[in-house]
């Protein structure tokens, strides 16, 4: 089992982040998988294990040959006899030895075990990558929705008020109000001059100037109402530019905050994806499945020798027991 982790530039700068971990070692997981009922069932479906291991003819070889059809439990028990798995905890290497009644069948089973193990490791890697990026992706989707809602609210405000930028509109209104106040001041000066130069109150010029002053004051009052200044005169607060600007700025802040959150979550998602891609787990075969040239099992002479030895020991024990009983009599 190889687990290759490449450090990122962020890690080299000291901002090390751990995205995922493993509570069980990969060789232990693989060791259990090779002896699992799931793998035995897959091998039987793909290779017909019952037929391969019954080639020894159970009628002539009842000890070593498989007795078909049998249950899946019987097949798993026979698998444990025919497939040896040896794990070295120090080096992390796993050796697999497969027995069959022909070298080709043994290599086919061994190759199948390797292919299925590689696929299982790939599934574990895919699950690890998915776990590493799932939360970042969920956060990214949430911030995308927040940006959409904030932009839709701002668009709806502009459509309802028919104002694209209240700040520009209020600057324009302030310009109009300043101009009217300047005209009012100029007209008041003209009235003072007329009052000093003319002793008649019914002078048409004085009347016209006072009328002009009244009109300008009315216009100033109306412009102030639009800006939310002075007496509303029956106008609602929603019509005031100050309230519109406040609502616009609130929506603008919401949009900016949503966009900043989206940028941060997008950066976190890209970092999670990059980190998940850098951590690679894969199965490497240091020795490919080989083809035997001579049969190693069954070891006939060794088996006969052991049977003869145990038979002799059993006979000796029985004989000694018989002599011991006869001596007691």
How many whole angstroms separate alpha carbon 105 and alpha carbon 49?
9
Give residue 125's pLDDT.
Answer: 80
For 108-125, what is the mean pLDDT? 88
Residue 127 has pLDDT above 50, yes or no: yes
For 312-323, what is the mean pLDDT? 90
How many whole angstroms separate alpha carbon 84 and alpha carbon 96?
6
Lowest mean pLDDT among 77-81, 206-210, 286-290: 286-290
Model confidence at 236, pLDDT cuts 50, 70, 90, reads: very low
SS3 125: helix
Q: What is the mean pLDDT of the chain?
A: 79
Which tens digit of pLDDT belongs to each residue from 175-196? 777 887 888 888 888 878 877 8
SS3 181: helix
Q: Are 256 and 146 in contact (CB under 8 A)?
A: no
- Based on its alpha-carbon atoms, the radius of gyration of the chain, rounded to whole angstroms, reads 46
Structure tokens at 95: 């050796």
For 86-115, what is the mean pLDDT? 87
Max CA distance (Å), the chain: 170
How many whole angstroms separate alpha carbon 180 and alpha carbon 161?
25
How many whole angstroms separate alpha carbon 167 and alpha carbon 154?
14
66 or 310, which is more confident: 310
Give residue 29's pLDDT.
Answer: 84
Give residue 6's pLDDT.
Answer: 46
How many whole angstroms separate alpha carbon 301 and alpha carbon 93?
33
Within 10 A of 160 (CB to CB), how many other CB atoms are there? 8
Which tens digit of pLDDT belongs to each residue from 299-312? 777 878 888 999 99
Residue 313 has pLDDT above 90, yes or no: yes
Give residue 137's pLDDT.
Answer: 86
Which tens digit of pLDDT belongs to each residue from 136-174? 888 889 999 999 999 998 888 878 877 767 666 666 667
pLDDT > 90: percent of the chain: 15
Residue with tokens 């294990």: 49
For 26-55, what is the mean pLDDT? 88
Which tens digit of pLDDT belongs to each residue from 252-265? 899 899 999 999 98
Residue with tokens 């600057």: 171
Nearest to 213 by CA among 173, 176, 180, 178: 180
Give residue 179's pLDDT.
Answer: 84
Structure tokens at 121: 């490791």
Model confidence at 231, pLDDT cuts 50, 70, 90, reads: low
Residue 18 has pLDDT above 60, yes or no: no
Residue 59 has pLDDT above 80, yes or no: no
How many whole angstroms separate alpha carbon 68 and alpha carbon 78?
11
For 225-232, what is the mean pLDDT? 58
């Amino acid at each position: 089992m190889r687990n290759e982790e490449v450090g990122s530039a962020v890690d080299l700068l000291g901002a090390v982040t751990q995205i995922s971990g493993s509570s069980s070692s990969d060789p232990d997981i693989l060791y259990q998988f090779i002896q699992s009922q799931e793998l035995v069932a897959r091998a039987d479906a793909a290779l017909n294990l019952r037929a391969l291991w019954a080639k020894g003819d159970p009628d002539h070889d009842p000890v070593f040959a498989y007795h078909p059809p049998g249950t899946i439990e019987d097949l798993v028990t026979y698998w444990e006899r025919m497939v040896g798995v040896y794990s070295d905890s120090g080096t992390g290497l796993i050796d697999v030895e497969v027995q069959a009644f022909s070298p080709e069948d043994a290599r086919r089973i061994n190759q199948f075990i390797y292919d299925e193990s590689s696929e299982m490791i790939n599934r574990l890697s895919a699950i690890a990558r998915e776990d590493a990026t799932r939360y970042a992706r969920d956060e990214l989707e949430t911030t995308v929705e927040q940006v959409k809602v904030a932009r839709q609210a701002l668009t709806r405000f502009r459509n309802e008020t028919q104002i694209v930028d209240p700040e520009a509109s209020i600057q324009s209104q302030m310009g109009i109000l300043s101009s009217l106040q300047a005209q009012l001041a100029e007209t008041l000066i003209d009235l003072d001059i007329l009052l000093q130069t003319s002793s008649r109150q019914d002078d048409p010029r004085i009347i016209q100037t006072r009328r002009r002053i009244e009109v300008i004051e009315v216009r100033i009052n109306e412009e102030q109402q639009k800006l939310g200044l002075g007496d509303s005169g029956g106008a609602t607060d929603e019509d005031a530019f100050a309230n519109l600007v406040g609502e616009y700025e609130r929506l603008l802040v919401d949009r900016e905050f949503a966009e900043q959150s989206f940028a941060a979550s997008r950066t976190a998602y890209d970092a999670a994806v990059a980190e998940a891609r850098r951590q690679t787990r894969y199965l490497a075969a240091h020795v490919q499945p080989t083809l035997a040239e001579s049969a190693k099992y069954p070891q006939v002479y060794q088996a006969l020798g052991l049977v003869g030895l145990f038979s002799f020991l059993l006979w000796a024990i029985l004989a000694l027991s018989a002599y011991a009983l006869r001596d007691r009599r």
